Each structure stands twice: as structure tokens, then as C-alpha cells.
Amino acid sequence: MTAVHSPGMPRIEDGELVSTNPATGAEAGRFAVATPDDVARAVERGREAGLWWAGLGFAGRKERLLRWRALLAHEITTLAELSNKEGGKPVAEAIIEAVSAIEHIDWAARNARRVLGPRRMRSRLVLAEFSAHLEYQPYGVVGMIGPWNYPVLTPVGSIAYALAAGNAVVFKPSEYTPAVGQWLVDSFARVVPEHPVFQAIHGLGDVGASLCRSGVGKVAFTGSTATARKVMAACAESLTPVLLEAGGKDAMIVDADADLDKAAEACVWGGLTNAGQTCIGIERVYAVEPVYDAFVAKVLERAGKLTVGAGEGADLGPITMPSQIEIIRRHIDDAIARGGRAVLGGPEAVQPPYVKPTILVDVPEDSAAVREETFGPTLTITRVRDADDAVARANAVPYGLGGSVFGRQRAVAIARRLRSGMSAINSTLTFVGMSTLPFGGVGDSGFGRVHGDDGLREFGRSKAVTRRRGPSLLPAMTFERTPAQVGRIVKLVKLMYGRGH
């Protein structure tokens, strides 16, 4: 009997991972599945390559990374078309994703020396005879486990920073998008052919587990909260440090003085782009009573115009991971069963491999559609008394990745109160493309940061050095000190620190 394979579901055939398009089932590529020994060898090659790469210094790495950036810019359409071929993402969406990735490569390359390079630190009076120095040294090899929903931007947001910091990278792309992951590795090898500084290993979750246990210096993971816990547990066995960017259930708050047209436009984009398959996608909206009805009407007008399909020009493509469709279906069904209403879409919107835009109102706060990550083109819009009520509801879930606030007078104050790693004011999702800002979450959304100065520091170990520059006037750290010298130290401490201001 011939096995039946669902389009988009990764499968193993004769030791190869087979990747297919979730809408058409067309094959996107085949890649050798890595064994534990293969992973170990890749890490060992990475150690040797990393020594050479680190030896290039910041200037040498910058020059190579900028050449990689230029190659991606020249071939951006090719990369976007591959994302469409493998994951079903509309080409226009894939181009926007690649633009952000290119920007992150550029910023990391240009700023690594400033953030991580050796610098002299100020000494303090108690140890004035010593100078202080700080630098950030690479981990050697960083293991990167990437997601399928943004297979270019998200991994590059770690990979570029790890490379700029002087590390080699062993990358395990999602089994749903191995072709895109391999393309990134191959493109880098075209500008850095000397050593395998950036390698890919392919397979299912067991390959990621092998990478966690392979002795890499650090693991950076992006994916679901459930898998993040498994990654952390595997890394804990060897005390391998981890950077975890997990799920989200981001909220948008619409205050009474918001520009409703702009809020509705941003809401539809932030909630439905990439068919809602976005960790920082807006899934919950809280609109205050005075503007609720008008806001919902404007959202429906825009969301109702979106097109869904595999053809050129479609706004929303298929659901990349087939199993996610049942989660989306369950959330919609549960919301309606508990008294919610679908004012757009609804249960009939679930038409595998697609889900049409669905807007739900009057959904209870304890329902799955409000509490759990849906990862589909659905939005719950809830009427709230005021901004305080909205903040309390937004913060009531265990996730804390991003969020959005639309308003004027109180928008900044509201954004600061959101329990999240990032907030956007009068926009949605914009912080992910801002290379100068750190990106990451709290709670069930993980910990650690990529992007910005903090993102660079995640991929370097701080190394502190003190150096004697003269004799000790008040020797403290020696058994040769005298009682009189200890007495002078006591007087100095009281003089310096004995006041309360």
C-alpha cells in the first residue's frame, strides 16, 4: 500500500528529509538527515572554523558579513520565491521579511566592535592602583534552532549577531523549511569559502536535541514554548547557556483618542500578516467603550478585502504546519461555544490548507482563543471599560512577547505598563525590524535578547581584566597589610560611603 503524505508535512525517505509545499504538495528539496555523529562532527568542524573566523577580527568579519548582506540584497527575489515554494508564504511577504534580515546583518556587522570590542573601564578609589578592562569573547560555536514561520528573518536575527561576535554557527532549520535554511548557509559559503563557519544540519526534533547535547558554547532557540522547555532541559544537562524566544499572545490596546483608521489598518496587518503565523502577531485587541463599535467596523472593512490562496497576489497563504489547523479550528469553535460571535469568518473559514480571516467578538477571557497561542489569521476584539481594564486583561496571560497601543495622550504610559519585552505605539510589529533595539520576551515567551546591543552581547562572554599600575597606598588584598593600614582603610570607607546620599 502506498503511504499517503499530507502536503507540507516533513517526512523521512531513505535517510533524507523531504520538504513539500503545504498548499500544492510539490517537493521543495531533499536533505540528508544528520545522525548524532554528524552533529558532533559539524560542531568539531565549527570549532576549528571558529578559531579562524575569530582571528579575522572585527574588521575582517565586518567585510565578509557586508558581502553576505550584498549577496542577499541582489538575490532577494530568489530567496523570496524559495520561501513561497517551500512554505507557501506570499512572495511580497517574503521580500519584506528578507529586507529586515538584510538590515540586521548590516547593523550587526557595523556595530560589533563598538559593543563587544576591548575597552578600558573606570577604576574606583578603593582599588585605584589597578586599571580595569572589559572585552567580550566568542563562545566558539553557537547552535541555532530556527522556526518555520519566518525562516529567514528570525534565524538571521541570531546568526548574524553570533557571527559578528566571532562565533561559528551550526544551524538546525525547522524541518518545515530546510530548503530556505540550506540556501542561507550556501549563500554565506559563497562569500566565506575558506572554512565551514556557518553550517546546517537537518532532521526532526531529535537532531535539535543532539545539537543541544553536542558541546556547543550556547544554544539560541526560536519556536513554541513547549519545545523551548525541552531545549532548556536538554541544555541543562551540561549547563549549556540558552537564549529562548518562544510563543506569544500579543495584545493591542485602542484608547479613546486613537486614530481609528490607522489603528484598524495596523491591527489587520499585525494580526493577519503571514496568515497570523507570527509570534509577535496581534491575537487579542482591547478597544475602549467609546470607540469599540467604530473600530470593529473599520477592522471588518479591511479584513474582509483580504484574499487567500497560493496564487500570485494573494494576501494570505496556506497554514504552513498542517497540524496547526486543528488548533485554529478548536479555538474558533471553543470561542463560539462559549458565547462568542464570529463577525467575519468563523468555523467555515477553516478550509485546509487555508484559514480565511476570522474576527471574533464577545469571547470570554478564559477561553482558548484568548489564553492560548492560536497562530492563525484570527483576532478577538473585546470591549473594555477603559485603558486600565485593557492593561489588566492584556497582562493576564502567561506570555509576554510584544504588544501595541494606539492613542495619543496616554499611549506611552500604557505601553510601559504592558508586561512584554517590546511595545509599539501607533504601529504593530515595528520593533522586530528595528535593528538597534533588543527583541525578546518574558514569562512563557522566553528570555534573553536578540538584535541591538543586547543581542550582540548574548553571543559573547564578558571577560574582565584588572592590571596593576602602581603600588598600593592602602594595601587590602594581601596578608602583608598592617593594623595601621587596616585602620586607614576603615577611615576612608567611612569618609567615602558613610553618608546617606
| Residue in the block written with cell 506570555 | 399
User: In 3D, which of 98, 207, 61 has the Cα closest to residue 144?
Assistant: 207
User: In 3D, which of 244, 215, 228 has the Cα closest to residue 441?
Assistant: 244
Q: Between the CA of residue 452 and those of 48, 103, 270, 416, what are the distances in Å? A: 28, 12, 22, 19
Cα(407)–Cα(414) distance, integer angstroms: 9
Q: Name the DSSP letter for residue 137.
A: E
| Residue in the block written with cell 534552532 | 145
* AA letter at 234: A
Which residue among the candidates 97, 245, 372, 458 is catalytic per the annotation? 245
Residues 6 or more apart whose CB falls under 8 angstroms from that of 104 comprise 153, 156, 157, 160, 161, 435, 451
In the residue annotation, 372 being an active-site residue is answered as no
Which residue among the candidates 97, 279, 283, 373 is catalytic per the annotation? 279
In the residue annotation, 265 being an active-site residue is answered as no
How far does CA 263 lie from the centroid of its chain? 24
* AA letter at 181: G
13 DSSP β-pair partners: 16
Cα(492)–Cα(500) distance, integer angstroms: 15
Main-chain phi, psi angles of 296, to 5 degrees: -60, -40
What are 116's three cell numbers? 563587544
Asked if residue 6 lies in contact with residue 320, where contact means CB atoms within 8 angstroms, the answer is: no
Exposed/middle/buried for 482, CB within 10 Å: 0-12, 13-18, 19+? exposed
Residues 6 or more apart whose CB falls under 8 angstroms from that of 256 comprise 288, 290, 291, 407
| Residue in the block written with cell 502577531 | 281
Asked if residue 380 lies in contact with residue 285, where contact means CB atoms within 8 angstroms, the answer is: yes
Q: Can you tell me whether residue 452 is helix, strand or coil?
A: helix
Exposed/middle/buried for 256, CB within 10 Å: 0-12, 13-18, 19+? middle
Q: How many CB atoms lie within 10 A of CB 23?
A: 22
Terminal Cα-to-Cα distance of the chain (whole angstroms): 82
Q: Between the CA of residue 283 and those of 226, 279, 399, 450, 488, what are the distances in Å? A: 19, 10, 12, 23, 63
Q: Name the DSSP letter for residue 139.
A: -
Active site residues: 245, 279
